[in-house]
Chains A and B, each alone.
Chain A
Amino acid sequence: MSNYQPLDKSKHQELKIKPIHPCVLAKEKGVIPIGLRETVTACAEYPVVFVKDDSTGQFRLVVLVGLRPNQSLFYSSDGWLGKHIPKSARSSPIALTQIASDEHSLIVCVDTDSKMLSKVDGRSLFDDNGAQSDFLNELIADAEDLYADHQLVKPFCDLLLEQNLLSPFSLNVEAEDGSNLELKGLYSIDEAKLNQLDKDMLIKLRDQGALPFVYAMLFSMARIDSLLKRYNEQSR
């Protein structure tokens, strides 16, 4: 579990962060949320789809890293098996959180339950003078980047929904070992509807900067075969 607390110099000055497997949190995750801009890199290696969040029903943009619920074909004890490590799979005890009373203000939080925290080993969050270390500044910059990129997903998704461009689908493939691999509740770009889109709507997608991501999602569907290949290799 995690327990995010606002980062506070007076409470957390002695904290250090141990080096740890970068994806320890993603061990049993078959889907990993990504931000919108990340789609461009991610689509070369993973199918990029939407799934619904179990507790809110809202769409999340994710990469598929397995062909069964909770299966990861990319996690290994030696490290991540893909070239692109989804940013939200990289473990970090630092995250940004919205302040409930003001949706435009963000605070830096630290997960005080994180196994990466130590008071002895690792790199310090604050230097001897109590100032933020360069290391912490890097973590905060990563967290900011991650947060900003995830914020772009909702407007993109709303635009697709408004244009009726998303369709539900189930992934159903048969592996070499004869097992039937199924993933339900996936949503992706409906290519037929995209091709029928009228000119004005297409221009709207272009002007809003959505088109590259639409095509990135479409192209990424070819990565389902790569997942299957990986599955077959791993189960041989």
Chain B
Amino acid sequence: MKKSSDKINSIVIVGGGSAGWITACILAKKFDCSDQANRLQITVVESPDIPIVGVGEGTWPTMRRTLEAIGVSENDFIRNCQATFKQGTQFFDWKNNSQNSRYFNLFSSIFDPSDFNLAPYWMMSGAKEGLSYADAVSAQGYACENFLAPKRITSKAFEAHQSYAYHLDAGRFSEFLKDHAIKNLGVNLTLANVVDAQTCEEGYLTAVVTREGSNISGDFFIDCTGFKSLLIGEKLGVNFNELGDILPNDRAVTMQVPYQDPNQEIACVTKSTAREAGWIWDIGLQTRRGVGYVYSSSFLTDDQAEQTLRSYVGLEADNLSARVIPMKVGRREKFWHKNCLAIGLSAAFIEPLEASAIFLIEAAANMVSDIFPASRSAMSLSADMFNQSFDFRWTRTIDFIKMHYVLSQRSDTDYWLAARELSGIPDSLQAKLDLWEQRPISKYDFSDINEPFPFESYQYVLYGMGRVPKDLPATMYTKANMANERFQQVKRARELICDGLPKHRELINQVCQFGFQSI
């Protein structure tokens, strides 16, 4: 098919799901597609036959801005997506073989460490008295231990006393965004099963072919077809690089556990518990928890994994069914090729530790909306830029996830020993870890604006796992008085903040019944 101009007038997103609908909403909002006079058309082609998978999922605080930017109400979102608040992740049994090691990776600290870094002073004082890094710098660990919400019903929508993200039901979330995209943002929906695509002589996609018989043509295509990678993988042949040698977890067994009592407390963190060949996530939604054991099939059978998960859940698991999900861990060599961009599982997948999946979908959609090429001739520059950026983001994400395993001193199974084998540790990660044996983590270690995980997250994980530099010369850390004053302020802030916070369950009930105000 020959085009009279190389202008980009239509975007076809293949695949609904979180990736497809988040991307559609962000692009449609950015380009004002609800305005009839606007010529940029966005069409999502969704299969009516592929069922929606609803496991509990975690996000990062970026989701608050994303939701606000695309114009949805936080109340509607919480009511429709089973959503709850998330203030971080709590890791159990990761540190060593002992059954009671735990630490927090939290979303907010009382003071900004890039302004004045309290970490070295904690190492020289509090740490020696058994005070955890999280409790030394943040009030949020205390709030989580006590099932407290991150805000009150009188706070305005999206505003936080302590930073927060969400836990949500991904299936419902897709439906919610789909409804918003179609009703309010001017996105077109075509229900059809895409089976193939057509390309022009230069190798650009021109249309997708549906089983129902019609072709849907477009100028720009976004592949949100999940692991299948129909466009960028099957059609355009961009390679998938597996990462099993770095991150060996390749399966998950999951279960949905309804609350026994409607007033049961809801955890306000994602819980992550290390087990013999992986780890178990535990996410509290409104009416049920979503739990899952992520493991490596080289070390564990599906049956063994299910048994472990059942014993983790306890008696409540008795009449519940479990489902095994195979995972293809790796990433495309390129994410943007010609006029095809992959977002979501079609681009890359690494295990859900630290909830990077939805967060990187938001980042990809935001970036493409900002650098979107007006014409085909400007396409390859944007593509190069995007590929470079996301190559970096995925590399860093892999490093960060891998770091959790490398820092562990567990030696109870071959799995944990293998997880620390040098051959599986990326050089980029090893170099940083060597550096952080010598000095505290610095904000200058994260000076790239595309850095996916913040400086503070590395501090929480590294220091939560008890890895501190061997030697801190007192000549370099001379502001102990100022630091002590701040540690006292953190303690006071904990009382001040937490005193007025409702229980997580109570706030969710209030949101469902009354809702936050927009001011």
Contact = CB atoms under 8 A, between A and B. Distances in A.
Interface stretch (B194-202, B379-387, B466-474, B507-515): B507-515
Contacts of A166: 519
Interface residues of A, number: 14
Interface string A49-69: 000111111110000000000
B355 interface: no
A53 B517 CA distance: 11
B518 A56 contact: no
B519 A187 contact: yes
Given A52-B154, A185-B154, A58 B519 contact: no
Interface in A33-81: 52-59
A167 interface: yes
- Chain B binding site: helix, strand, loop or mixed by DSSP? loop
A55 B519 contact: no
Given A55-B153, A56-B153, A57-B153, A161 B510 contact: no
Nearest to B500: A54
A122 interface: no
A55 B517 contact: no
B154 A57 contact: yes
A56 B517 contact: no
Nearest to A162: B518
A212 interface: no
A57 B519 CA distance: 11
Interface in B311-341: none
Interface in A146-171: 161, 166-168
B415 interface: no
Interface residues of B, number: 12
B519 A167 contact: yes
Contacts of A185: 154
A57 B518 contact: no
A184 to B, nearest CB: 10
B519 A161 contact: yes
Contacts of A187: 519
Contacts of A57: 152-155, 510, 514-517
Nearest to A57: B153
A58 B510 CA distance: 10
A163 B174 CA distance: 30
B518 A58 contact: no
B518 A55 contact: no
B263 to A, nearest CB: 16
A213 B513 CA distance: 28
A53 B153 CA distance: 9
A166 B517 CA distance: 11
Nearest to A54: B154
Contact of A56 (B155, B510, B519): B510
Contacts of B153: 52, 54-57
Interface in B488-519: 510, 513-519
A27 to B, nearest CB: 24
Interface string B452-489: 00000000000000000000000000000000000000
A106 B515 CA distance: 25
A64 B289 CA distance: 45
Interface string B233-266: 0000000000000000000000000000000000
Determine which residue in B154, B155, B510, B516 has the highest number of CB atoms from chain A within 10 A of its CB, and name it. B154
A197 to B, nearest CB: 16
Nearest to B75: A57
Nearest to B516: A57
Contacts of A59: 517
A168 B153 CA distance: 15
Contacts of A56: 153, 510, 513-514
Contacts of A58: 514, 517
A52 B517 contact: yes
B200 to A, nearest CB: 48
Interface string B147-186: 0000011110000000000000000000000000000000
Name the residue in A57, A167, A185 with the highest tally of chain B Cβ atoms < 10 Å from its Cβ. Answer: A57
A187 B155 CA distance: 13
Contacts of A55: 153, 510
A234 B514 CA distance: 39
Nearest to B155: A57
A161 B515 CA distance: 14
B81 to A, nearest CB: 20
B510 A168 contact: no
A110 B416 CA distance: 68
B501 to A, nearest CB: 12
A143 to B, nearest CB: 24
A183 to B, nearest CB: 14
A193 to B, nearest CB: 11
A153 to B, nearest CB: 14
Contacts of B154: 52-54, 57, 185
Contacts of A168: 519
A57 B518 CA distance: 11
A57 B513 CA distance: 10
Nearest to B507: A57
Contacts of B514: 56-58
A56 B513 CA distance: 8
Contacts of B516: 57
23 contacts: A52-B153, A52-B154, A52-B517, A54-B154, A55-B153, A55-B510, A56-B153, A56-B510, A56-B513, A56-B514, A57-B153, A57-B154, A57-B155, A57-B510, A57-B515, A57-B517, A58-B514, A58-B517, A59-B517, A161-B518, A166-B519, A168-B519, A185-B154
Given A56-B510, A57-B510, A185-B154, 9 more contacts: A52-B517, A53-B154, A57-B153, A57-B514, A57-B515, A57-B516, A58-B514, A59-B517, A166-B519
Interface of A: 52-59, 161, 166-168, 185, 187
Q: Give the 8 A-B residue pairs with the shortest CB-CB distance, closest first.
A: A57-B153, A52-B154, A56-B514, A57-B154, A57-B514, A58-B514, A166-B519, A168-B519
